[in-house]
Each structure stands twice: as C-alpha cells, then as structure tokens.
C-alpha cells in the first residue's frame, strides 16, 4: 500500500534492543517547586506505560515535555540510539510523536475534516487521505459521524475523534493525557477498547491516567510519579526505568 509519508504500522517490537527514546537527567521546576527529577527515562519500542500519581504531581507536564510542548532541563537524550536535543524540539521526532490532550481541541468543520487534518498538513494526495481517514473512522466507530459538525458531538465522540486524528498519523510514540477522565458508561468503555487496540498494534504509548481499567490492560507497565520521581512496578521484562528504588505500595 502506498503511504506517502504515513509511517507504516509497526508489527513487532524492535529486535535491536535500542530504546525508542532515552533521556538522562530530566528536571522541571515551577518556581521553587520541583515537579520532575528523573535520572534515567527509557521508553522501549512497542511498549505501553500507564503513568499514575496524584493530581498536580507532574504527569501532564511530563507528557508535554516529551511532546515538545513544554521545556525542561535535559542532560542527554537519544531517539532510536541517536543523540538529540529537545530545545528546539527536533524535526527528527516531530512527526513521530503525537500528543492527545485531556480536553481535545477540535477544529470547526466536520469529523472527517478533523481526522484528516494532519495528513493534509503533510501534503499527502487526496486519494490517500480519503483512504486513511475512512479506515481510521471505521476503527474508531465514528464513520456514521463523518459529516457531523464538531459542536454536535458528545464527550465520548469528541475523544474518539481525537484518538482517530492521532492514530491516522501512525505515530511511533503516542502520548495520551487522561483519555477517559471525563467519560462514563458506554463512552468510557469504547475509549478503553480503542486504547487496547492501539497497544496491540505495537506502538510505544505513554498514558497519564487514574482509570484502573486502563492501568490493568494487558502488556501495560504501571509507573507512578511521586515526589518528582518515578516509582516503577517491575514486570518480568521492564521497559521504562528511573534510577530510584521502586516502591510497590498501592496508594
């Protein structure tokens, strides 16, 4: 299939053992308050992580730093083994990382227009955009809403449009900020199901959340931000680590 700059979906985890992203010495302060002090942050190829912690602990801030939306002090960083700088945010990874906000901002116009926005911005041919958008809307269960105006959508539909708009770009690293926080009932269950399929596709995913059903999805590593550091629950094959003692409390 022609891709025209749309990255092919990964099928297997990278066999080289090289992390997708590794950052050494990441720190972030708000005034005199230290929000993040991470010694060694490693995100493996095709791995999924649930980032937990109390409100205000820095979960969203960390996602925004990884997405290039907020600055931090970073000693060393590597993308697929190659050294990079985060300021300015490198073009190397600008197309490879997609961030979905807790309260997604959609553009005026139709659902179809929103899902295809990123592909149009990349200059893909119209027939390729139509094909990719149709497949992705079908995946998200919003194909019947293709011509609906954004202002007419429910909260769950808005979240599914945002996920579709991210997925259609086929990112190597997908950052999800509280994808179910404003949803309940069937709307929440549908978003959880979509996230589960994203995990099985083999992309690297970091999601900030409090939702225990998201945290307990298969193949998801739980991380906890507390006192500016990550506490890692180590499975048999751990994927992301910080040089601090793991803490296994459930609070």
Which pLDDT tens digit goes with each residue over 94-115?
999 999 999 999 999 999 999 9
User: Has residue 4 been placed in a domain?
Assistant: no
**Residue 132's domain spans which residues?**
47-71+89-220
Contact criterion met (CB below 8 Å) for 166 and 98: yes
Q: What is the model's pLDDT at position 74?
A: 96
User: Has residue 106 been placed in a domain?
Assistant: yes
Apex 81 CA angle, 75 and 82, nearest 5: 70
The per-residue pLDDT of the chain, averaged, comes to: 88
What is the Cα–Cα distance from 171 to 120, expressed in whole angstroms?
A: 16
Q: Which residue has the tokens 């005199």?
A: 32
User: Has residue 117 been placed in a domain?
Assistant: yes
Q: What is the model's pLDDT at position 92?
A: 80
Tokens of 142: 């919003």
User: Has residue 83 been placed in a domain?
Assistant: no
What pLDDT band is residue 10 in, cutting at 50, 70 and 90? low
Convert the pLDDT of each residue in 45-98 to its tens digit.
999 999 999 999 999 999 999 999 999 999 999 999 999 999 899 888 999 999
User: Has residue 175 been placed in a domain?
Assistant: yes
User: Has residue 98 been placed in a domain?
Assistant: yes
CATH code of the domain containing 140: 3.40.50.300
Distances (CA, A) of 175 to 66, 154, 209, 224: 8, 22, 11, 16
**Per the structure, how many domains does the chain have?**
1
Q: What is the pTM of this model?
A: 0.87
The helix-helix angle for 155-167 and 126-140 (nearest 10°) equals 130
User: Has residue 42 been placed in a domain?
Assistant: no
Convert the pLDDT of each residue in 197-250 to its tens digit.
999 998 999 999 999 999 999 999 999 999 999 988 655 444 444 444 333 334
Q: Which residue has the tokens 């907020």?
A: 70
User: Has residue 205 been placed in a domain?
Assistant: yes
Provide the H-helix boundaries in the chain: 59-66, 91-94, 111-115, 117-121, 126-140, 155-167, 185-200, 212-215
Q: What is the model's pLDDT at position 179?
A: 96
């Amino acid at each position: 299939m022609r891709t025209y700059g749309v990255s092919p979906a990964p099928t297997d985890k990278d066999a080289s053992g090289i992390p997708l992203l590794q950052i050494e010495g990441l720190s972030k302060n708000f005034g005199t308050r230290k929000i993040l002090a991470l010694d060694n942050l490693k995100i493996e190829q095709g791995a999924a992580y649930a980032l937990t912690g109390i409100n205000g602990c820095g979960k969203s801030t960390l996602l925004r730093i990884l997405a290039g939306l907020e600055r931090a002090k970073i000693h060393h960083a590597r993308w697929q083994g190659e050294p990079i700088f985060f300021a300015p945010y490198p073009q190397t990874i600008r197309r490879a990382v997609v961030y979905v906000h807790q309260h997604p901002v959609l553009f005026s116009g139709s659902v179809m227009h929103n899902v295809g926005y990123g592909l149009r911005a990349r200059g893909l041919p119209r027939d390729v955009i139509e094909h990719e958008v149709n497949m992705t809307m079908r995946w998200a269960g919003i194909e019947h809403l293709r011509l609906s105006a954004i202002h007419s959508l429910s909260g769950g539909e808005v979240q599914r449009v945002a996920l579709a708009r991210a997925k259609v770009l086929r990112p190597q690293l997908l950052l999800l900020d509280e994808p179910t926080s404003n949803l309940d009932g069937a709307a929440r269950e549908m978003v959880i199901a979509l996230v589960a399929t994203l995990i099985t596709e083999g992309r690297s995913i970091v999601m900030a959340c409090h939702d225990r059903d998201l945290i307990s999805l298969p193949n998801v590593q739980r991380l906890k931000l507390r006192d500016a550091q990550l506490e890692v629950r180590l499975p048999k094959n751990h994927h992301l680590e910080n040089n601090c003692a793991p803490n296994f409390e459930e609070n």
